[in-house]
Chains A and B, each alone.
Chain A
Amino acid sequence: MTTIKLTINNTPATLSVSPIKRLLDVLRDDLHLTGTKEGCGEGECGACAILMNGELVNSCLIPALQADNATLTTIEGLANATHLHPIQQCFLEQGGAQCGICTPGMILATHHLLAQYPNPTDAQIREGLAGNLCRCTGYMRIFESVRQAAAKSLLPNH
């Protein structure tokens, strides 16, 4: 066991874990943050995507030790007590979520995309979501959710 320190959704945490334990399992089992999902477990589907130090990563491929001192954002860290994050709101309005397994990863991938390209082209949206697989929606509603989120984020005082 090894001790790691994290900042998770703006809250500091100190944990004693096996150093090679997958960050995904640390989030779900140790921190009880079950919004992050496991799909394939091999970095293909993006269901476990989170933000680590601002970068999109697949938490199933990160040993806990490599997250020592990192700042993490999971899906639980986006909404506040009363309001959904604007990206979540857009997914809701556009029907971008169906069964919900891919949704947290899709939303964090969108967050990462819009941080880099506030006004993304269609090709940038496609590339930004290419690492996140959905088996329900056919992708177009997710695509429209991202387009709406981008349009909204360009408005003043959104």
Chain B
Amino acid sequence: MHSDPTQFALIAPATLSEALALLSNGRHTPIAGGTELMVALAAGRLQQKSLVSINHLPELRFIQTTPTAITLGANTTFTDIRRNPTIAAELPLLTLAASWTGSIANQNRATLGGNICNASPAADTPPALLVYDAAVTLISANPETRELVERTFPYAEFHLAYKRTLLHPGELLHSVTIPLPTPAHHHFIRKVGTRNAQAISKTALAAIATVGDHHTLTEVRLAAASLADRPVRLYTTEAALLNASLAAADITTTVLRARAALASESCPIDDIRSTAAYRTAVAANLLEQFLRTLPA
């Protein structure tokens, strides 16, 4: 333990409104499950000295299902996601991503909101959320009037740069809303790390697609972890694949075109976990695996 706990302030307001009122001066940092910030504390690199615990707030821990969408409160844990049968049936990529995020002990604490707001380019749930066209709702309190303000954006717009997001100081992620895919959608996700359990991604690819008559891709959405400074949709590769043929005579051409498009928009880094070249090559392999497993 390389920090002195007495140098830090931490309070747990009773309600979401009280938490937002406290946060509204922009001088406090919210802490949910602690699986990121408590690591920083122990390592002696937690810069924020004044924290507001939001982990206990029931207003942020819910899973709400409608006929067209599922909304998850920011405090939804990975265990909550894994135990929800509707999510498993409708959004299998989210269930899978939750299942390989850290260990069981971490899944019992870590939250979906924390995973998104921590804004790591290697985070596990963002690629799934991106291909599912999720929307994020942000909430804050006006510092003078304490009036609550909500803003909703496509999740694809949330990450601005490395570790930079749309969140203003004092603002919290409230919830994530995911429209339900149709039964015709094919889902794919795969993560490549150093080991099978609780590894951080070298890269990961999520995909969702529909195949129409004449074996063509009528809709395709792709997203990746660790191919850029933030979690990204692969729009160039999607455009290259739209209406592409999966028929036996065409699949090789389609795969080659897709791999080239992915390489053209992939901009990963060399770091302790992998190299840029390896990340791009593996992501292209994952994309090829996805395309070759679609029904032709």
Across the two chains, which residue of chain B brings its CB closest to A56?
B105
**Contact partners of A68 in chain B: CB under 8 A:** 12
Q: Is the CB of A57 within 8 A of B9?
A: no
Known: A25-B1, A63-B10, A66-B53. A109 touches B34 (CB 8 A): no
A55, closest chain B residue (CB)? B108
Is B10's CB under 8 angstroms from A130's CB? no
* A57 lies within 8 A of B11 (CB): no
Residue A44 is within 8 A (CB to CB) of chain B in the complex: yes
Residues of A within 8 A of B196 (CB): 130
Question: Which residues of chain B are within 8 angstroms of A130 by Cβ–Cβ distance?
Answer: 103-104, 196-198
Q: B10 and A65: CB pair below 8 A?
A: yes
- Decide if A43 touches B43 in the complex (CB within 8 Å): no
Give the docked Cα–Cα distance between A100 and B1 (Å): 21
Q: Interface size class for chain A? A: 20 to 34
Most buried by B among A41, A58, A109: A58
A41 partner, pick from B1, B103, B105, beta carbons under 8 A: B1
Chain A nearest CB from B58 CB (Å) reads 14
**Is A147 interfacial (CB 8 A cutoff)?**
no
Q: Give the CA-CA distance A41 to B6 in the complex, in Å.
A: 18
Residues of A contacting B104 in the complex (Cβ-Cβ under 8 angstroms): 56, 109, 112, 127-128, 130-131
* Inter-subunit contact A61/B109 (CB<8 Å): yes
- The answer to the question of A42 belonging to the interface, with a C-beta cut-off of 8 Å to chain B, is yes
- List the A side residues contacting B56 at CB < 8 Å: 66
- Confirm or deny: A14 has a beta carbon within 8 angstroms of a beta carbon on chain B: no
**A19 close to B109 (CB less than 8 A):** no
B35 within 8 A of A: yes
> Is B105 touching A43 in the complex (CB atoms < 8 A)?
yes
Asked whether, in the complex, the Cβ of B42 is within 8 Å of the Cβ of A18, the reply is no
Residues of A within 8 A of B102 (CB): 43, 131
* Distance between A142 CB and nearest chain B CB, rounded to angstroms: 14
> Is A96 in contact with chain B by the CB < 8 A criterion?
no
Report A44-90 residues with CB < 8 Å from chain B CB.
44, 46, 49, 55-58, 60-63, 65-66, 68
Contact A61 B38 (CB under 8 A): yes
Return chain B residues, CB-CB under 8 Å to A25: 1, 5
B33, B41, B55: residue with the most chain A Cβ atoms closer than 10 Å = B41
* Shortest Cβ gap from A18 to chain B (Å): 4
Query: Which chain B residues lie closer than 8 Å to A58 at the CB level?
Result: 35, 103, 105-106, 109
Given that A61-B38, A61-B39 are known contacts, is A20 also in contact with B10, CB under 8 Å in the complex?
yes
| C-alpha gap A30/B10 in the complex (Å) | 19
Chain A nearest Cβ from B169, distance in angstroms? 20
Chain B residues within an 8 Å CB radius of A112: 104
In Å, the complex CA distance between A20 and B29 comes to 13
B1 contact from A22, A46, A61, Cβ within 8 A: A22
Question: Would A19 and B38 count as touching, CB distance under 8 A?
Answer: no
Q: Is the CB of B43 within 8 A of A42?
A: yes
State which residues 103-122 of A face B: CB under 8 Å.
109, 112
User: Is the Cβ of B43 less than 8 Å from the Cβ of A20?
Assistant: no
B108 — nearest CB in chain A belongs to which residue? A55
Rounded to whole angstroms, the CA-CA distance of A61 and B136 in the bound complex is 27
Bound Cα distance from A21 to B6, whole angstroms: 8
**A42 and B5 in contact (CB under 8 A), knowing A57-B109, A130-B104?**
no
Asked if residues A63 and B31 are in contact (CB atoms below 8 Å), the reply is yes
The answer to whether A60 touches B198 (Cβ under 8 A) is no
A22-B41, A112-B104, A127-B197 are known; give 9 further A-B pairs, CB within 8 A: A18-B8, A20-B8, A43-B39, A55-B108, A60-B42, A61-B35, A63-B31, A65-B10, A130-B197
| CB pairs A–B below 8 angstroms (21 shown) | A19-B10, A20-B9, A20-B41, A22-B38, A25-B1, A41-B1, A41-B39, A41-B43, A42-B39, A58-B35, A58-B109, A61-B33, A61-B35, A61-B39, A62-B34, A62-B38, A63-B34, A63-B53, A68-B12, A131-B105, A131-B198
Top 5 nearest A-B pairs (CB, nearest first) are A131-B103, A130-B197, A18-B5, A19-B10, A61-B38
